[in-house]
Amino acid sequence: MPPVLDHATVFVAMIVLCAIILYYTFKTTAGKLPKLRTIAGLSAIDEAIGRATELGKPALFISGLSDIDNIQTLAALSILSYVAQKAAEYDTPIIMPNVYSVTMVTAQEVVREAHLRAGRPDTYRPDNIYYVSDEQFAFVAHTSGLMERERPAANFYMGSFFGESLILAETGNATGAIQIAGTAETAQIPFFVVACDYCLIGEELYAASAVLSQDPRQLGSIKAQDVVKLLIFAVMIIGCVSETFGAHFLMNWLGGS
């Protein structure tokens, strides 16, 4: 059996993790924003909205099939705020069918605030953000028909998706829309990757709000997570090399022996 981490090892790891997070949080709040790796799907949002504007077509935004208590839905609404502001600046309508009424009401408020930030409160249309059904394939049937009728030029799928992911993505692909998807549901990521132009994979969905908002605290947290991942990766490499050459110091330390 592999060794079990002892309490001292776990304590040291927690101290190191907290120290890294606090360091980058204080650093970013002091005005030194870190440079994060570019996420292609986020960089393409302006392009997608611009194409919809040029074609005189609306943009479609779907925040997944989970309710407001799902963290992926909250991340999707955070991205919606940026998308809606850009759409308002370009005077491009956003259509957003919803599975849950609470998500609908929240999305309406998010889009309304985005229009206010863009200085275009008169272009806000609450009727474009509406409730469809909390039945999975009833919602999918409506949304697929909507794509065929309205032919939106940009489709955004952000949040928690299930068996309907490929149906939505293939329908949007058939209508010729630029499609940007993001989900942490590992079983659905392959479908979005093959049928969409860009895809936020896993935790990129959660990092999106920090990248788009440029909030110092969020950016510091994301940077700290990246550093911690690099440290863990380095420990794994050192452990593999040392074990290969018969040096068990790292394994013994992690196991507390």
Q: Is 209 in the same domain as 222?
A: no
Number of domains in the chain: 2
Q: Is 146 in the same domain as 244?
A: no
Answer left, alpha or beta for residue 178, where phi above 0 means left and psi between -120 and 50 means alpha. Answer: beta
How do residues 133-145 score in pLDDT, each as one tens digit?
999 999 999 999 9
Domain that holds residue 25: 7-33+215-255
Please indicate, yes or no, if residue 84 is contained in any of the structural domains: yes
What is the β-pairing status of strands 154-158 and 94-98? unpaired
As a whole number of angstroms, the distance between CA 166 and CA 195 comes to: 7
N-term to C-term CA, the chain: 14
Q: Is 46 in the same domain as 134?
A: yes
| pLDDT for 118 beyond 50 | yes
How do residues 178-234 score in pLDDT, each as one tens digit?
999 999 999 999 999 999 999 999 888 888 877 887 777 778 888 888 888 888 888
Q: Is 107 in the same domain as 224?
A: no
Q: Is 18 in the same domain as 51?
A: no
Q: Is 87 in the same domain as 204?
A: yes
Q: What is the pLDDT of residue 248?
A: 76
How do residues 234-247 score in pLDDT, each as one tens digit?
888 988 888 888 87
Q: Is 203 in the same domain as 248?
A: no
Q: What is the pLDDT of residue 139?
A: 97
Q: What is the pLDDT of residue 18?
A: 87
Q: Is 166 in the same domain as 47?
A: yes
Mean pLDDT of 46-64: 95
How do residues 96-116 score in pLDDT, each as one tens digit?
999 999 999 999 999 999 999
36 or 18, higher pLDDT: 18
176: CATH = 3.40.50
Q: What is the pLDDT of residue 1?
A: 46
Mean per-residue pLDDT over the chain, rounded? 89
As a whole number of angstroms, the distance between CA 257 and CA 253 comes to: 6
Percent of the chain at pLDDT exceeding 70: 95
Q: Is 77 in the same domain as 140?
A: yes
* Structure tokens that stand for 127 in this block: 């009727």
